A and B are shown apart, each in its own frame.
Chain A
Amino acid sequence: MKFLLTVTAFVLATLQLPAAAAALPEAIDPLDSARWTDMHKMVLGGAPVVFDDRVIVKAPATAENPMQVPVTVDATALPGVQEVLVFADFNPILQILRFFPESAPAFLGFRVKLQQSSPVRAAAKTADGVWHVGGTLVNTVGGGCTAPSANAGSKEWQQRLNEVAGRQWSEGPQQGRVRMRIVHPMDTGLVAGTPAFFLEEINFTDAAGKRLMRVQTYEPVSENPVFTLTRGNSTGPLDASGRDNNGNAFNVRIAP
């Protein structure tokens, strides 16, 4: 009987790929969030979805500082990722960032502001239009999105806005890794008297002008964001450019 069930399940699973993927949204949220159905509708537009262990979201189970919750998304085990959307079910601004790996592996580390304890999820879209969703629960004391940025009272960020510090690791266990920090307040607009002011787009390009990764960032990305990525097979210098929602741009070269 058990064998029969297994075979049936296997046959069904085989039949479902990929044309029948639209039948998948019945999938049960492993994080059991009351908001999942809304998330599916609001963030992923009701598109076909599977929960997939190959999309790994790392974040501490308990985050001490809700303004700087480290999140690392690794969807490199899933072939053919075109786009990754990161969101938090219980944040007042749901979407955190979106990245398009292009010629880099589908891996990105960053930090986020969380307003309260919430699932943090990454949805990776493959060529067949299916979103593969992974996630983890983060407990936090909250207030991350409606608290003023740490440097809100200082003039320093205004003088150093969009100042970029980056580095590549060309050897050792982190070979191919790139890390970059940008001075930016990343104001959410949810603090009274402080309009939304945040980085919107960052592009990483190799020396030949080939784009490795495009990142669209939204308000919940932490102040003075730090990004960790892997550049894959390319070598040599790396260009990073981007701009915020007020049109302030940056363009830097990170030496190998």
Chain B
Amino acid sequence: MKRLFCYLTLLVAGGLNAAEFDYGLKARQIAPDVHVFVGRTEDFTPANGGNIVNTGFIVAPGGTIVIDSGSSRRYGEQMRQAIAGVSPKSVALVINTHHHPDHFLGNQAFADTPIAALAATRQGIGADGNAFAENLYGLTGDWMKGTEVFAPTQTLAAGTQEVSGRRLRLIALNGHTEADLVIYDETSGVLFAGDLVFNERAPTTPHANVEQWLAALDQLEAITRETGFKMLVPGHGEVARDAAPIRQTRAWLEWLQRTLRESAAAGLDMNEVLARPLPPEFAKLPVAASEYRRSVGHLFPAAEQEALK
């Protein structure tokens, strides 16, 4: 009897989990043959399972091109299923825009297809991938079950090229991380900006170089001024038809850098910098307080060093 009860409990729990671990991914078409999955503008939690990131795909003549694979094996699998619901074409290539975990931990679901990234992104995944995955297990829990680092198998070169029969401009930038790949689909005018751009969500900075990031944003804004430009897909936050998210990301970064430099020059201790209030325009952004706190930890030591020279 006791055993039966155990089985029943397991069955119920199993049934619940199957529903619980559904990311509810629904492909949204934003241009002919171009689709995105827009994540929540939140932090990683057991409730969202890591679905806080934007991923996408382009149905190209030679097969589908997937841009980023999400935060877990389950995400990648569910994403692949959703893609199959849109087009019967097989996946020709997966691209990881940079080495942060929410952009590549779904790679396992695409193990049978080529997975490509910039050289430094491949190195970054090799060096930090396991630590990132471990951290996400801690932050999101069982959503991560079965997730292991599956590193990209190919190195991407920047430049305009035919990928799977589609003309893509691959732009190698940096600033958010050491290597940030931006994909401009010249056919549709859709710009996949990766995490160089956040929209109505405070930017994350664990591997940021703010100077380089600001320079990268200038390059991205120039693309939005091209006649063919139609749509911007940020790494986090809603898609946009203009450069507003680029300007918002720039405004946050410039304010952040100015605040840290001024604080260091004024002789503030790190706890005093953490206690500074955020200006209203930034305080209203989702996760602003926690990202500011993190950014102080990541970036204040360098500002401090500069001020102590």
Contact = CB atoms under 8 A, between A and B. Distances in A.
Counting chain A CB atoms within 10 Å of each CB, the highest count among B267, B274, B290 belongs to B267
A152 to B, nearest CB: 14
A114 to B, nearest CB: 13
A165 interface: yes
A59 B275 CA distance: 10
B297 A109 contact: no
A196 B42 CA distance: 40
Interface stretch (A36-44, A176-184, A213-221): A176-184
Nearest to B307: A167
Given A167-B308, A180-B308, A60 B267 contact: no
Interface stretch (A64-72, A95-103, A126-134, A236-244): A64-72
Contacts of B135: 141
B266 interface: yes
A64 B297 contact: yes
B102 interface: no
B138 A70 contact: no
A228 B297 CA distance: 16
A222 B135 CA distance: 22
B144 to A, nearest CB: 15
A109 B271 contact: yes
Interface residues of A, number: 28
B304 to A, nearest CB: 6
A52 B187 CA distance: 68
B309 A228 contact: no
Contacts of A109: 269-271
A68 B294 contact: no
A174 B270 contact: no
B293 interface: yes
A72 B135 CA distance: 28
Counting chain A CB atoms within 10 Å of each CB, the highest count among B271, B272, B304, B309 belongs to B271
B309 A179 contact: no
Contact of A173 (B138, B266, B290, B298): B266
Contacts of B227: none
Contacts of B138: 141
Contact of A72 (B269, B293, B308, B309): B269
Interface of A: 58-60, 62-65, 68, 70-72, 109, 111, 141, 165-167, 169, 172-174, 177, 179-181, 224, 226, 228
Interface of B: 135, 138, 266-272, 274, 290, 293-294, 297-298, 301, 304-305, 307-309
29 contacts: A60-B271, A60-B274, A60-B293, A62-B290, A62-B293, A64-B293, A64-B297, A68-B297, A68-B301, A70-B269, A70-B270, A70-B271, A70-B274, A72-B269, A72-B271, A109-B270, A141-B135, A141-B138, A165-B309, A166-B308, A167-B267, A167-B307, A167-B308, A172-B267, A179-B269, A180-B308, A181-B305, A224-B301, A226-B301
